[in-house]
Structure 1
Amino acid sequence: MKALCCLLKRVKEGGYLLGSRIVLRNVALLGKWLWRYHREGSALWHKVISSINGSHSNGWDANTIVRWSHRCPWKAITQVFQEFSKFTWFAVGNGDRIRFWEDLWWGDQSLSSQYPRLFRVVTDKNIPISSILGSTRPFSWNFNFRCNVFDLEIEDLEGLMRSLEYLQLTFSVPDARSWSLSSSGLFTIKSFFLALFHCPNSPSVFPTKFVWNFQVPFKVKSFVWLVAYKKIIQSAKMDWVLPRSISDMQSILFSGFGLSRRGIVLWQAACIALIWVVWRERNARIFEDKARNPESFWDSIFFLASLWPFCSKVFKGIPLIVLQLDWLAACSSDGLV
């Protein structure tokens, strides 16, 4: 534990814990391998990944369902696929590889999203463009519906055929995939990172200041940091049973303490004390066969949640007993105790 604390302390002092930025940077770096996969089909690593995982239904990527353990590098890469695919689009050549319905190649949405009624009644949902339109003009329109289409579907079909009337297929050029965030159409880590950074639905990030700027023992900070990243919970086969994640709990403000600096510090102390005491209680029950009663368990949380703010600059000069009474009163008024 001492070695771990020293390592984390050196990383923190070196300025590498950049919170949300480092998480999104890692996602962008993983996206690079998704881009390289379809462009390096003859590479040995591509063949190994393809032989192990199989191909995705879109024909461009590896299968995103990886049944290996959590230590498999490609499993981490496939978890980025959903974010990565939002910024890719297809340049139509001969239409042999691009899926007519599910790939993004015509307009701002896939045709399955633009014409959901038609998509529901087609037989082959992964059919390529060339199989529907044919190889010559006029187009053959081989939609192959599995049942008769009715008035609404006929109207949608008419609109679809009109929108594709001026589509030009270049039969001597293969289909290609492009990166929508770059004028050159080529993937860059920087463009992916900036898109994720400004995206409201970007991957959840750890509230760095919540832990590292708070006056608690460093081993407690290190532990909470690992818990928030689900390193401890998963390895110990534990489940967090609150409605939201630990990171979410650390990101919100509890109104019972107010929105002042002191109120925020009290909420930080309560969250960290809860996590720390639960972990120590778990270890005591497993390794020492000891279990405290609920009153003693609550007293431990209550004591640490008062002691840590008492040691901070925000509550300098305020007696510990006053903090304990105020903390208890705030929780009682909100129905927590």
Structure 2
Amino acid sequence: MERKIHLINWEVVCTQKVKGGLGIRKIDLLNKALLSKWIWRFAFEEGTLWKKVIGVKYGQEGLGWRTNEARGAFGVGVWKEILKEANWCWDNIRFKVGKGTRVNFWTDHWCGDEALSRIFPQLFALAVHKNATISEVWDSSLGQGGWNLRFARDSNDWELVVIEALFNMLREFKLSQEEDSVVWRGGGQGKFGVSCAYNLLAAPNSLEFPVRCIWVDKVPTKAAFFAWEATWGRSLPWIGSKEEGGSFLIAVFCVVVKRKMYITFFYTVQWLGFFGILSLPCLGFIGCSQRRS
């Protein structure tokens, strides 16, 4: 088998097109996203047969959003492998509070950027009921309802400032008659999607790649790929070329159009610093020539 030169790093190839890659997905990350889908489905779906079977077999944690850890003595269970992705998946899930009976006030992520126990660790350490649900902390007898937090001791002066910050964060939240639910934070309008999950796992870089100058409509595919390689400075005829400034006529591309006619395209490249050389949009066709039989 003939061994050819690998011009572009595989990490670059697997990057999204808008970030300079070809959008080819990595199998390991795609598999991780597919497994995470079942973590989401177990938390999101209600009353489905498969969820009941899994819940009976492995048991459920306190409020029923997750199963207990799978501890099979032999073999590798499917659900056991799925649970390996649970931590990553739950890092991107938050709760939408309704009745508040299935959401932990301190340790679940329902308010702010993370769980309240992480935002206010000093207050969490003083909390009397660390595992209280939101409904247990909510006091409906206080007018239109309010929060009734209990701490192990009286608060110091500096702690009053922290408590005030907590109540300011909770000001807009009220319980309702809806059921508690989960929301996916990684896009997809609050619902889990394999593509959204994969993009989170891939962690694309923040580089601004000139994608519109590379993948141009009506440009021959080979010409576009040549431009992509040249942009990364890895086009075979130009490897090692770091000359700055100016434009260079580098190639002529011919495309067969209609029946026996050729349209000839000329392309130029220009230095772009980090990205190497960039193939500019086609300068237009020079003319047509008759195809020989």
- Structure 1 and Structure 2 fold alike (TM over 0.5): yes
- The amino acid that maps onto 1:164 is L
Q: Which amino acid aligns with 2:99?
A: N
Residue aligning to 2:126: 121
- Give the aligned partner of residue 110 of structure 1: 115
Check conservation: 1:58, 1:126, Cα contact below 8 A: no
Q: Name the CA shift for 1:30/1:22 in 2 (closer, same or farther; >3 Å).
A: same
**How many corresponding residue pairs?**
181
Q: What SS does structure 2 have at the residue aligned with 1:161?
A: helix
Kindly tell me: are residues 155 and 174 of structure 1, through their superposed partners in 2, closer, same or farther at Cα, counting changes over 3 Å? same
Q: Please show how residues 199-278 of structure 1 align to structure 2 within 5 Å.
A: none
Please give the TM-score of this superposition, normalised by the length of structure 1.
0.49
Identity of aligned residues (%): 33
Aligned-partner residue type, residue 159 of structure 1: A
CA deviation profile, 1:188-227 (whole Å, cap 9, x unmatched): 1111111011179xxxxxxxxxxxxxxxxxxxxxxxxxxx
**In structure 2, what is the Cα distance between the partners aligned to 1:120 and 1:107?**
19
- Contact 1:41/1:47 (CA < 8 Å) preserved in 2? no
Normalising by the residue count of structure 2, what TM-score does the alignment of the two structures yield? 0.56
Once the two structures are TM-superposed, the CA of residue 58 in structure 1 deviates from its matched residue by 5.0
2:46 to 41, 45, 56: 41
Aligned partner of residue 178 in structure 1, secondary structure = strand
Distance 1:199 1:57 in 2: 36
Q: 2:148 aligns with which of 124, 142, 154?
A: 142
What is the match of residue 171 of structure 2? 165
Residues 77, 157 of structure 1: alpha-carbon distance in 2 compared, 3 angstrom cutoff: same
C-alpha distance in structure 2 between counterparts of 1:32 and 1:51, whole Å: 20
Counterparts of 1:42 and 1:75, CA distance in 2: 22
User: How big is the shift at 1:48?
Assistant: 2.2
The question of whether the paired residues in 1 share the 8 Å contact of 2:101 and 2:134 is answered with yes
Q: Secondary structure at the match of 1:120?
A: helix
Q: What letter matches 2:71 in structure 1? A: R
Alpha-carbon distance in structure 1 between the residues aligned to 2:204 and 2:129: 34
Pick closer, same or farther for the CA change 1:117–1:70 going to 2, 3 Å: farther
Point out the structure with the larger strand share.
Answer: 2
Q: Which residue of 2 aligns with 1:51?
A: 56
Letter in 2 for 1:66: A
| Contact 2:139–2:145 under 8 Å retained in 1 | yes
Check 1:164–1:39 CA distance in 2 against 1; reply closer, same or farther (3 A cut).
closer
Q: Which residue of 2 aligns with 1:251?
A: none
Decide whether the 8 Å contact of 2:93 with 2:183 is kept in 1.
yes
Which residue of the partner structure matches residue 190 of structure 1? 195
Residues 192 and 173 of structure 1: is their aligned pair in 2 closer, same or farther, counting only changes over 3 Å?
same
Instruction: Report the secondary structure of 1:177's partner residue.
Output: strand
Contact 2:44/2:182, CA 8 A, preserved across alignment = no
Tell me if structure 1 keeps the 8 A contact 2:112–2:169.
no
Residue matched to 1:98: 103
What aligned pairs does 1:287-306 form with structure 2 within 5 A after superposition?
none
2:46 is aligned with 1:76: no
What's the C-alpha RMSD, in Å, of the aligned pairs?
A: 2.5
RCO greater where, 1 or 2, for CA within 8 Å and sep 6 or more?
Answer: 2
Find the aligned partners of 2:96 and 2:65 in 1 and give their Cα distance: 13
- 1:27 is displaced (CA, Å) by 0.7
Structure 1 segments unaligned to the other structure (5+ residues): 1-18, 201-337
CA distance in 1, matches of 2:43, 2:33: 17
Aligned equivalents of 1:144, 1:59: Cα separation in 2: 25
For the pair shown, the structure with the greater C-alpha radius of gyration is 2
Distance 2:144 2:168 in 1: 13
Indicate the structure with greater helix content: 1
Q: 1:33 to 1:168 in 2, by over 3 A?
A: same
